[in-house]
Amino acid sequence: MGETRNYSEENVLLVGCKLTDADEERFSYSMQELAELTKTAGGKVVNTIVQNRHSFDRATYIGKGKLDEMIPLIDEEEIDVVIFNDELSSSQVRNLSAKVTARIIDRTQLILDIFSKRAKSREGKLQVELAQLNYLLPRLAGQGHALSRLGGGIGTRGPGETQLETDRRHIRRRMDEIKEQLKAIVKHRALYRERRKENRTLQIALVGYTNAGKSTIHNRLTVADALEENLLFATLDPLTRRIKLPSGFQALLTDTVGFIQDLPTTLVAAFRSTLEEVCEADFLLHVVDASSNDYYNHEETVMELLGQLNVKDVPMLTVYNKKDKMTNHFVPTDGKNSMLISALQEEDLKKLIARIEEEIKSTLSYFSVKIPANNGKLLSRCQSGAIIEEQKWIEDEECYALKVYVSPTSSLFKQLQQYKV
């Protein structure tokens, strides 16, 4: 093996093919996003090639003319990696690799690579590996040369570094092992969720397009230490922290992995258990980057993926973030169930947390109770497990009169029934 090369920043050539029936603006944003993904993976975009075609070339994705134009460019600009904006077939990878010296990867492989770099928990790492093996299995025939290169670089992390002799049987065996391990983790997570349901802690989940600012909002509201970076997929592993609303009511706030257009199906499947936190939520905060020109498509992508996860009828507030950077063209898609904030402004966060409490109230049951002074334990439970609108001490009855909002499915709701007035 030769000397180890530093792959901290590789020269990258981006290649996109716009089909005649594709929307021009959407394609343009897709290429911009590919450049952002490349930056996140540690690459430096040196040049971009775009071709307009009626359909992708079955052999090489782009046509012969564009390919002939690309080959000298790779040598001239010392390109290390060529990244294609669509998923390539094994034959396309094989044919392209035979003609160019640079490493060939596609959009899916790039996203998998970022996930491999970002995953921190055992579950996250296993899910990434499963997704990578799912991607790799049908492409073994086309990736022989690439798999023989050990070391590093964009698109070669994790299972992508396996030796040439890796065969389908070995991969399938490893996939079965991972699935078994994930089953155990999912079972443990389900038991933990059941315990939370018994205690009936209200669940709030942050969802949204990648890099919309979910982790920043999560950190500011819960004083957590999740990674905050202006990079795509900065958060992969779900992080849950307790959040205290203005009334003293406590809920759980979960940060989730960012969504993205054309998310590989292997990743949606592999990360289903991570996204189960979204499926179990009582309330969703949909964070949208108001500074992005493509914010509307970002919203659409998130809603489509929530549909795929069968997340329906869950109350949701849309939070348009980064108002300090938004463009003049920005218009909220949903003016009624939304608010515009900057997660970096304390005043906006206070307004957000107050709005969350108001929205949650509408999902709870409201009634009045009188709790005897000697039942301090129940009073304490109300202060943390219910939204108290009013609390008075009644001297002659030696009790506390409360007007509260409580979840009808909680054990606290049943306890308060006997004190209802």
The DSSP code sequence of 247-304 is: TS-EEEEEE-PPB-TT--HHHHHHTHHHHHHHHT-SEEEEEEETT-TTHHHHHHHHHH
Higher pLDDT: 1 or 204? It is 204
We find that the CATH architecture of domain 201-361 is: 3-Layer(aba) Sandwich (3.40)
Q: Tell me phi and psi for residue 409, to 5 degrees.
A: -95, 0
Residue by residue, DSSP assigns 40-62 as: HTTEEEEEEEEEEESS-BTTTBS
Q: Which parts are annotated binding residues? A: 208-215, 233-237, 255-258, 321-324, 342-344
CA distance 322 to 213: 8
Q: Per residue in 361-411, pLDDT tens?
A: 988 889 899 999 999 899 988 887 889 989 999 999 999 999 999 888 778
What is the Cα–Cα distance from 132 to 175, expressed in whole angstroms?
A: 10
- Phi first, then psi: give them for residue 353, nearest 5 degrees: -65, -35
Q: What is the pLDDT of residue 69?
A: 92
Judge whether 10-115 and 201-361 match in fold: yes
Is residue 16 predicted with pLDDT exceeding 90? Answer: yes
pLDDT at residue 142 tops 50 = no
Q: Which residues are annotated as a binding site for GTP?
A: 208-215, 233-237, 255-258, 321-324, 342-344
Q: Render 86-139 in DSSP notation, one character per residue.
A: SPPPHHHHHHHHHH-SSEEEEHHHHHHHHHHHH--SHHHHHHHHHHHHHHHGGG
Q: What is the pLDDT of residue 229?
A: 54
Angle at 155 between CA 38 and CA 141, to 5 degrees: 140
Q: Where are the domains of the chain?
A: 10-115, 119-145+161-198, 201-361, 364-417
Provide the pLDDT for residue 331: 85
Mean pLDDT of the chain: 83
Q: Is the CA virtual torsion 239, 240, 241, 244 positive or negative? A: positive
pTM: 0.75
pLDDT band at 162 (very low <50, low <70, confident <90, very high): very low
Tell me: pLDDT of 218 over 70.
yes
Q: What DSSP designation does 323 have?
A: G
Residue 199 pLDDT greater than 70, yes or no: no
Domain 10-115 falls under CATH 3.40.390.10:
no
State mean pLDDT over 228-241. 62
**Local structure of 382: helix, strand or coil:** helix
> Phi/psi at 42 (nearest 5 deg)?
95, 20
| Nearest in space to 71 (alpha carbons), one of 106, 100, 104 | 100
Q: How confident is the model at residue 6 (pLDDT cuts 50, 70, 90)?
A: very low
Q: What is the pLDDT of residue 400?
A: 93
Amino acid 386: pLDDT: 87
Backbone angles phi, psi at 369, to 5 degrees: -140, 160
The arithmetic mean of pLDDT across residues 238-257, rounded, is: 84
Whether the predicted pLDDT of 123 surpasses 70? yes
Q: Does the structure show a pLDDT above 90 at 41?
A: no
pLDDT (0 to 100) of residue 174: 92
Nearest in space to 50 (alpha carbons), one of 87, 84, 23, 16: 16
Distance separating alpha carbons of residues 131 and 264, to the nearest angstrom:
9
pLDDT surpasses 80 at 340: yes
274 vs 71, residue with greater confidence: 71
Residues contributing to the annotated binding site for Mg(2+): 215, 235
Average pLDDT over residues 99-108: 92
Q: Using 50, 70 and 90 to split pLDDT, how confident is the model at 164?
A: very low
Instruction: Give the type of residue at 8.
Output: S
pLDDT score of 116: 81
